[in-house]
Chain A
């Protein structure tokens, strides 16, 4: 029994009450972490953050994983979950890093069939009527940061990424800014199955505040 005790103690971590559990898109990691710490110091609430690809987060929520607030990188993933109050929290822009798109030989892009950044990029190029011509040059990556990394490492000479990603790039420079692309919105919602809906609502209101907006903009996001 004495030998078992340390193992039993490992299981005895108390469950904390009234936490606000937030599932947020990976691209928001830095901004939302900073904002959560700020909110905790102001409100005394505890914010627990879970970061991942929006599609993974939606899958977790659909399968009953506990979450109160969901901030998705696109509407499609948000549409999969049961929402309560849904707001358009942020927006973003596509940019081309490396060389201009029409001069590029290898273009890194987030998977255009599934990953939001890739889906947006494909829709934009289809609107311009040049998707079919460029498709053979496309190198689909698992996520948008992978596309950026491909240019930084020299494995592609251009990549279509978010303005927020280009902001953290070390070497790759912005060649073009996409101003005629599809609207890129980060929707946020208090989830219908939230256990702490009131807390999630307060945190969401904070994220929409002027102070929070300034921090989001510092990370390259666009706010209203």
Chain B
């Protein structure tokens, strides 16, 4: 498998994972930005868990939870990436939602807007800068995912081997030069992602 194919596969999987993650992550972030509700602190903790636990531990849990027909397929790659990058998107979106001045939302309501309309015309646009920063970070985290991926998706060249797994594999096999080629490609993509993230969170003046 060529370096370009591995890189393209990884970017495609990370993009898919991020795209699938955005709707539920935003819904969860919005709920967490609401005032106190029953079980909120438990949900908060669960959301942060993949950030704190060793990725291999998350992978072991996923190996138990994910159907056998999904294990060792590209779907498992996407699931591992989604779980590992979810805290980044949820936390960034939550802070962004919390920073929206509730007065604007109240004014929209007094003008007769129903809740979905308030969300899509007031809350979401005002929070978008913070959300997009989180989305790019989540995407970058998905690109580099290793520990959970190798357990639940394996290292099947051409099917589930991502950039991080391929680098590890090549180092393990003593092919350092080949590993460095992928490291260079990885640094390049990560650089672009972080740069975009910085740009999107910078205040427009």
Question: Which A positions have Cβ atoms within 8 angstroms of B?
Answer: 7, 10-11, 13, 21, 23, 26, 29-30, 33, 48-52, 56, 59-60, 63-67, 143, 145-146, 148-149, 165, 168-170
Contact = CB atoms under 8 A, between A and B. Distances in A.
Nearest to A29: B173
| Residue of B19, B160, B172 ringed by the most chain A CB atoms within 10 A | B172
Interface in B156-172: 156-157, 159-160, 169, 171-172
B174 A65 contact: no
Contacts of A143: 172
A165 B174 contact: yes
Interface of B: 12, 16, 19-20, 60, 63-64, 68-69, 71-72, 74-75, 150-151, 154-157, 159-160, 169, 171-174, 176
Nearest to B172: A145
**Secondary structure type dominating chain B contacts:** helix
Given A56-B151, A59-B151, A26 B72 contact: no
Given A149-B174, A168-B174, A52 B68 contact: no
A143 B173 CA distance: 11
B74 A60 contact: no
Contacts of B20: 7
The 10 closest A-B pairs by CB, nearest first: A50-B154, A65-B71, A63-B63, A64-B68, A145-B172, A168-B174, A50-B156, A51-B155, A26-B172, A52-B155
A66 B155 contact: no
A29 B160 CA distance: 15
A146 B176 CA distance: 12
Contact of A51 (B16, B74, B169): B169
Given A48-B156, A56-B150, A145 B171 contact: yes
Contacts of B69: 66
A143 B171 CA distance: 11
Contacts of A168: 173-174
11 contacts: A7-B19, A10-B16, A11-B75, A50-B154, A56-B151, A59-B60, A59-B151, A63-B63, A66-B68, A168-B174, A169-B174
B174 A60 contact: no
A26 B71 contact: no
Contact of A26 (B16, B74, B151, B169): B169
A145 B173 CA distance: 7
Given A59-B60, A169-B174, A170-B174, 17 more contacts: A7-B20, A10-B12, A10-B16, A49-B156, A50-B154, A50-B160, A56-B151, A60-B154, A63-B63, A64-B71, A65-B63, A66-B69, A66-B71, A148-B174, A149-B171, A149-B176, A165-B174
A213 B160 CA distance: 29
A143 B168 CA distance: 11
A200 B127 CA distance: 55
Nearest to B78: A10
Contacts of A169: 174
Contacts of B160: 50
A63 B68 CA distance: 9
A30 B170 CA distance: 11
Nearest to A170: B174
Contact of B159 (A30, A48, A63): A48
A21 B151 CA distance: 16
Given A49-B156, A59-B151, A60-B63, A66 B72 contact: yes
A19 to B, nearest CB: 10
Contacts of A10: 12, 16
Nearest to A10: B16
A194 to B, nearest CB: 13
A66 B157 CA distance: 16
B123 to A, nearest CB: 23
A5 B60 CA distance: 32
Nearest to A153: B176
Nearest to B76: A65
Nearest to A142: B172
B149 to A, nearest CB: 11
